Chain A
Amino acid sequence: MRAFSDTAPLLACERLRRFFGGVMALNDLSLEVMRGEIFGVVGPNGSGKTTLVNAITGFYPPQQGRVVYEGKDITKFRPNRITPLGIARTFQNLALFRGMSVLDNILLGRHYLMRPGVLRTALYWWLALRDEVVHRKAVEEIIDFLQLESVRNDPVEFLPVGLQKRVELARALAAEPRLLILDEPMAGMNVEEKEYMARFILDIHWERDVTVLLIEHHLDVVTGICDRMAVLNYGSKIADGPPKVVVSDPMVVAAYTGRGRGHAGSG
C-alpha cells in the first residue's frame, strides 16, 4: 500500500491556506518534514503555528492546498482518521481529561488500538484480559520513560502544569506515532522543566524512532534541539533550513524584534 521511498518527505504541506473570516491565518504555506528529523516551527504569537497543526491534524482543515503524509493525500481527513495513520499531537493549552488519573489519560491515547466489543467485554477473562495487559504494559513503559511513576494514580488536574504537559506527551506517545506533533510543549514552564522536556523530546526521537514536528514560541529551545526549522510570520513562511542559518536571516531577526511588515494580522 505504501509506495513511498525514504527520500520523500514524511509530511509535506503544499500551499496551505486557511482563513478565519477576513483573517489569513495560513497564507500559501509549504513545508516538508523528512523522516527521522526533529523539525521546528517557530514564530511570534499569532503567526499561524497552531493553525498549521490544526490544518494537518484535521481540526481545521485548510481551504486550499494539500497535506501529504507518507505519500498519501490526507487533506481534510477528520482527526479520528489521522491518528491511525501514525500521527499524534499534543495541545498548546492542555486537553487532558479532568477527573481521570494520569494512567487513564495515557491509556486513552491507545483508544484507537483497542478493540472493545460487547462479547469480548462480557467474556473478559477469556478474551479481553490479554489485550488489556498488553495495553497496560505499553503505557507503563511510557510512564517509566517519562518518569511519571510517582503520579501514576493522581488525578491530572492537581498536577503542576509542567507535569500535565508531560502527561499530554505520554498520551500522544501511547498512540505509537511515527510522527509526533508537539504544540508548544514548553509554554509556561520554568527553565528546569524546559530542560527536562527538551531531554525527553530528544530521547523520544532517538529511542522510539519518532519524527518530531515541534511548534515553539521560543527560538532558543528550537535552535537547541532541531535538525531543521521554519519560521512563520503572519501565516507565511519567512525562512527555513538548519537553525544556524535561519536565526541569522534578517527577516527572522526583524520578525522577532518587532520590525516586521506594517500591517496587522492575527493567527
Chain B
Amino acid sequence: MLDQARERQRSLADFPRDSTILTLLARNAEMFPERVAMREKDYGIWHEFTWRDYLEEVLAFAAGLESIGFKPGDAMLVLGDNRPEIYFGMLGCAALRGLPAPVFPDSIPREILHVQKDCFARYALAEDQEQVDKVLDLREHAGGPGIIIYKDPRGVSTYRDPGLIPYRELRSNGKKRLEGESGLEENLVGRCSPDDGVAFLHSSGTTGEPKGMVIKHRHLLAAVRSGFLGGLFKEHEVLTAYLPVAWMGDTAYTIAAGIGLGFTVNIPERQETLLQNLREIPPTFYLAPPRTWENMVTAVQVRMAESTPLKRRLYDFFMRLAMDLERGKNKGHTPGVWQRFLRQVGELTVLGPIKDHLGLTRARQAISGGEAIGEETFLFFRALGTNFKQGYGLTETAGVGAAMEDWDVRLHSVGRPLAGVEVKIDESGEICVRGENVFDGYHRNPEADQKAFQDGWFRTGDAGFLEDDGRLVVLGRAAEVVHTAAGQRYVPNFIENHLKFNPFIKDAAVIGANRPFLGALVCIDLESVGHWAEAGGITYTSYADLSQKPQVYELIRQGIQRVNELLPGGLQIRRFVNLPKEFDPDDGELTRTRKLRRQVIEKRYIDVIEALYEGLEAVSIEVPVTYESGETGGLRRTLAIQGVQ
C-alpha cells in the first residue's frame, strides 16, 4: 500500500536512467492505459487513441516492419504532415533499432536527395500520394528506397511500381504476429537501448547545407528531464502537434516529452483547419517558432483593420494600454489600480476574445523558440495576458537549453539555462553548451565535429553573453553579428524583427556589413497589403505588380521610418527596395523552418544591393524561381529603390 502511494507521488519525470522512449511508452500503457494519448480530427470528428492503443499501434508497426526484412541500423525516410501513423511508424522503426529520418513535407527533390545521401534509407513511410510521388522520384536519382509504406491509399492504390505497401496491411500483419508470438511484445519494447537513435535530424542550415545528426533516447530523455525541472512543462500537458515532424521541436516535445510526461497530443485535421482545431481543444503548452507567432499577430491586425470603427478603436485602445503596461513591467514598474482596472475591462472586451480566437485560453506556457523573436511580437502576446516566453535550444541540444522562468520574464533574454544544461561563453563571445542532452556529433562529418566541439563543450555558433545573475542573452548567429563601415556593431535579425512586426512586411533582409549605411530588401505581405490595396482602390495583378506600386512603396517607407525612430544613430535604414517575390525555402532563401539564409540572399540579389548603395533610383533584375517540382524559371523585373529619412 505504502509503496503504491509512494509510486503515485513520484513524478513521471523520475524515470530510471536506462529508460528508452519505448519503455516509457510501455510504462504509460500500464500506468494509465485508458488515458487519452493522442487525438486526431478526421472526417470532422476527434478520434482518440489511449496509451494502450498508442503502444499497440507502435508495436504492430514494428512487428510488421520487421517481417518485411527491416534490420537494426536501417534507415526509414518519413514524409508527411503530423499524423498518428507517422508517429507510430517513427517509434516502430526506432523500436527495431532503426533510424527514422523525417523530411519536411514541403521539401523539394534536391533536399530529399540530400537526406537520402546521408542515411541511405531502404524504407520510406509516406503520408499520401504527393509524398509517395516524391519518393518514387527519389528512387530514380538515388536508387532507393526500395520499400514505400503509404498511409493514404487515395491515388496510390492504382500505382504499379514495385515495393509499395499500404500502412494498413503492414500494421495488420504486425498485429497478427503480436497475437501469434508470445513474448514478442516485451521483446520489442526492450530491444533498443538509450544509446540508440530515435530520429535522424538535420540542423536548420542558415549557413550552408543542413548537417545530419542522430538524436538518441538518452539525449531526448535528458532534455525532457531538464525541461521538466526547469518548469518548461509539467506532466500531462495538452499540446497540438502541427509543426513539421522534421523539426527538432516536434521530436523533442511531441514524441519525447509527450511520452516521457504523458502529454495528450492533438493533431489537427489539416494545416488549414489548425486555427479552428486549436480553438476546439486549446493546448496548455504551446510551442512555436517566431514565424508562427508573427503570422498570428498579422492575422489579428488584418482582421481588426477590416472591422467596424468602434471595434477598431476599442482594440487600439486596450491593446496599446496592455502593451504599455507590459513594457512598464519589463522595466520594473507596477501598474496602478486604475490601470489594472482598465486592463481588466480590456480582458473582457478585447483581449480575452482574441486569446480565444488564437486558441490561447488554456495555455499555461506559450513559448517561442528556434530563433529570436521581435520585441513587439513578444509584448503583444504578453499584453494579451498569456504566459509568453522565449526559450533557447538547438537541434544539437535536443531542443532545450535555456528558458525564462515564470517569475523572471525579461524581454532581452532567453532566461536561465535549464537544470542539467551548462552554458558558458567562450573568448570569442560564442555560446557553448554542455549536458546530457547534447548530441554526440554530426553524422559522418568529422570536419564539422572538429569545429563544433571544444573540450567537451558544444559550440552553438550563436553569439551572446551571460548576465551577472545568470540570464542568457542571445545576440544571433555569431556569423551574423556584423559591423557597418563606420564600425558600429549590429545584429540584422534584431532590426528585421522590428520591421516584421509591421503587418505589411512579411520578410526583410537588412544589409550593411562594411557599408556606409543600412539598406533593406523587403518582401511585402501579400494578404495584408492586398487588403489594404483593395480598400484603397488600388488594382493589381500579382505579387510582383503590387510590390512595385508607388503607394505600396510609400506604405513601406512609413513603416521603416517608424522603425528608424527606435534604432540608435547610425543604424537607421536609409534605402530600401521591395522585392518582386517572397523569400521562399524552395529557392533556398529560407530554411525549411523559415529562417533567412543570408548568404544566399546577398548573393542572389547582389545587383540590387549594389544599386542600393550606388544611389540608383531603379534596378532591373532577373529573379530565378524554383518551382515545387524542382524546375526553375525566371522573372525579369525593374525594381524601384527608395530612400527613407
Residues of A within 8 A of B (CB): 103, 136-137, 140-141, 143-144, 147, 149-150, 152-153, 203, 206-207
Q: Specify which of A144, A150, A153 is in contact with B43 (CB 8 Å cutoff).
A: A144
Decide yes or no whether B269 CB sits under 8 A from chain A. Answer: yes
Q: A137-B43, A140-B43, A143-B44 are in contact. Are A149 and B154 (CB under 8 A)?
A: no
Residues of B within 8 A of A143 (CB): 43-44
Judging by beta carbons under 8 Å apart, are A150 and B276 in contact?
Answer: yes
Nearest CB in chain A to that of B269: its residue = A149
Interface size of B by CB at 8 A reads 12
What distance in Å separates the Cβ of A70 from its nearest Cβ neighbour in chain B? 27
Decide yes or no whether B270 CB sits under 8 A from chain A. Answer: yes
Decide yes or no whether B447 CB sits under 8 A from chain A. Answer: no
Q: Specify which of A140, A141, A149, A203 is in contact with B270 (CB 8 Å cutoff).
A: A149
Q: Specify which of A103, A140, A152, A207 is in contact with B154 (CB 8 Å cutoff).
A: A207
Q: Specify which of A147, A152, A207 is in contact with B44 (CB 8 Å cutoff).
A: A152
Nearest CB in chain A to that of B155: its residue = A203
Task: Report the Cα distance A207→B156, complex, angstroms.
Answer: 11
Judging by beta carbons under 8 Å apart, are B270 and A150 in contact?
Answer: yes
Residues of A within 8 A of B272 (CB): 149-150
Judging by beta carbons under 8 Å apart, are B44 and A140 in contact?
Answer: yes
Residues of B within 8 A of A (CB): 42-45, 154-155, 158, 269-270, 272-273, 276
Judging by beta carbons under 8 Å apart, are A150 and B44 in contact?
Answer: no
Residues of B within 8 A of A150 (CB): 270, 272-273, 276
Task: Report the Cα distance A5→B339, complex, angstroms.
Answer: 82
Task: Report the Cα distance A206→B155, complex, angstroms.
Answer: 9
Judging by beta carbons under 8 Å apart, are A141 and B273 in contact?
Answer: no
Judging by beta carbons under 8 Å apart, are A141 and B43 in contact?
Answer: yes
Nearest CB in chain B to that of A103: its residue = B44
Nearest CB in chain A to that of B43: its residue = A140
Task: Report the Cα distance A143→B42, complex, angstroms.
Answer: 11
Residues of B within 8 A of A141 (CB): 43
Residues of B within 8 A of A137 (CB): 43
Residues of A within 8 A of B273 (CB): 149-150
What distance in Å separates the Cβ of A62 from its nearest Cβ neighbour in chain B? 39
Residues of A within 8 A of B158 (CB): 206
Scoring B44, B158, B276 by chain A CB atoms within 10 A of each residue's CB, the highest score goes to B44
9 chain-A/chain-B pairs, Cβ below 8 angstroms: A137-B43, A140-B43, A140-B44, A140-B45, A143-B43, A143-B44, A144-B43, A153-B276, A203-B154
Scoring A136, A140, A150 by chain B CB atoms within 10 A of each residue's CB, the highest score goes to A150
What distance in Å separates the Cβ of B364 from its nearest Cβ neighbour in chain A? 28
List 7 tightest A-B contacts by C-beta distance, closest first: A140-B43, A150-B272, A150-B273, A140-B44, A149-B269, A149-B273, A149-B270
Task: Report the Cα distance A203→B155, complex, angstroms.
Answer: 8
Nearest CB in chain B to that of A145: its residue = B154
Residues of A within 8 A of B276 (CB): 150, 153
What distance in Å separates the Cβ of B491 from its nearest Cβ neighbour in chain A? 38
Task: Report the Cα distance A207→B153, complex, angstroms.
Answer: 11
Task: Report the Cα distance A149→B154, complex, angstroms.
Answer: 17
Residues of A within 8 A of B45 (CB): 140
What distance in Å separates the Cβ of B502 from its nearest Cβ neighbour in chain A? 27
Residues of A within 8 A of B155 (CB): 203
Residues of A within 8 A of B269 (CB): 149
Task: Report the Cα distance A136→B273, complex, angstroms.
Answer: 19
Residues of A within 8 A of B154 (CB): 203, 207
What distance in Å separates the Cβ of A191 from its nearest Cβ neighbour in chain B? 12
Task: Report the Cα distance A150→B275, complex, angstroms.
Answer: 9
What distance in Å separates the Cβ of A259 from its nearest Cβ neighbour in chain B? 32
Given A137-B43, A140-B44, output 18 extra A-B contacts at Cβ < 8 Å: A136-B44, A140-B45, A141-B43, A143-B43, A143-B44, A144-B42, A144-B43, A147-B270, A149-B44, A149-B269, A149-B272, A149-B273, A150-B270, A150-B272, A150-B273, A152-B44, A153-B276, A206-B158
Task: Report the Cα distance A206→B157, complex, angstroms.
Answer: 12
Task: Report the Cα distance A103→B273, complex, angstroms.
Answer: 15
What distance in Å separates the Cβ of A152 from its nearest Cβ neighbour in chain B? 6
Task: Report the Cα distance A141→B154, complex, angstroms.
Answer: 12
Task: Report the Cα distance A207→B42, complex, angstroms.
Answer: 20
Nearest CB in chain B to that of A143: its residue = B44
Nearest CB in chain B to that of A153: its residue = B276
Nearest CB in chain B to that of A140: its residue = B43
What distance in Å separates the Cβ of B143 from its nearest Cβ neighbour in chain A? 31
Nearest CB in chain B to that of A141: its residue = B43
Task: Report the Cα distance A206→B276, complex, angstroms.
Answer: 32
Nearest CB in chain B to that of A147: its residue = B270
Residues of B within 8 A of A152 (CB): 44
Task: Report the Cα distance A91→B34, complex, angstroms.
Answer: 49
Task: Report the Cα distance A120→B314, complex, angstroms.
Answer: 50
Task: Report the Cα distance A137→B47, complex, angstroms.
Answer: 14
Task: Report the Cα distance A110→B538, complex, angstroms.
Answer: 44
Task: Report the Cα distance A14→B154, complex, angstroms.
Answer: 38
Task: Report the Cα distance A144→B45, complex, angstroms.
Answer: 12
What distance in Å separates the Cβ of B272 from its nearest Cβ neighbour in chain A? 4
Nearest CB in chain A to that of B268: its residue = A149
Nearest CB in chain B to that of A137: its residue = B43
Residues of A within 8 A of B43 (CB): 137, 140-141, 143-144
Task: Report the Cα distance A141→B42, complex, angstroms.
Answer: 10
What distance in Å separates the Cβ of B328 from its nearest Cβ neighbour in chain A? 40
Task: Report the Cα distance A149→B270, complex, angstroms.
Answer: 8
Residues of B within 8 A of A103 (CB): 44
Task: Report the Cα distance A147→B154, complex, angstroms.
Answer: 13
What distance in Å separates the Cβ of B159 from its nearest Cβ neighbour in chain A? 13
Residues of A within 8 A of B42 (CB): 144
What distance in Å separates the Cβ of A210 from its nearest Cβ neighbour in chain B? 15
Task: Report the Cα distance A103→B45, complex, angstroms.
Answer: 13
Nearest CB in chain A to that of B271: its residue = A150
What distance in Å separates the Cβ of B395 from its nearest Cβ neighbour in chain A? 31
